Amino acid sequence: MNENRIQQVLEIEKQAQEIHEVAIRDAQQLPILAEQESQAVIEKARAGAQEEARQLIANAQAKEETARILLEAERKNGQTEALAMSNFDRAVNYILDRVIGKE
């Protein structure tokens, strides 16, 4: 009976030793896993920030392009209006001449 108890105690000690070794290996892996996970989080945050920056730049460039196009359209509109006004008197005289039958 004592032999049986001694075998049980030895088996329990062996299991405890194995559990202890597994715990030590796991504990040694924790800093490595934590570092890997933190690097993954940092990389994900960096990628998100870069994408957001690209979108902000694209929006800013689109706004600048829109403003440039609008300014160009206003400039052309002003030129057309100035040209129309310069010919307005001639057009009125031409129409009046046609109405009263001079031409």
| Chain segment 11-59, per-residue pLDDT in tens | 999 998 999 999 898 888 888 888 898 899 999 999 999 999 989 888 8
Contact 81, 75 (CB under 8 A): no
| Distance in angstroms (rounded) separating the CA atoms of residues 43 and 38 | 8
Q: How far is CA 14 from CA 18, 73, 75, in A?
A: 6, 87, 90
- Answer whether residue 90 is part of any domain: no
SS3 category, 1: coil
Task: Count the domains in the chain.
Answer: 1
Amino acid (one-letter) located at 58: A
Domain that holds residue 11: 1-73
Query: Quick one: tokens of 85?
Result: 């006004």
pLDDT tens sequence across 78-94: 888 888 788 777 777 87
With 70 as the cut, is the pLDDT of residue 103 above it? no
Q: What is the pLDDT of residue 99?
A: 77
> Does residue 48 lie in a domain region?
yes
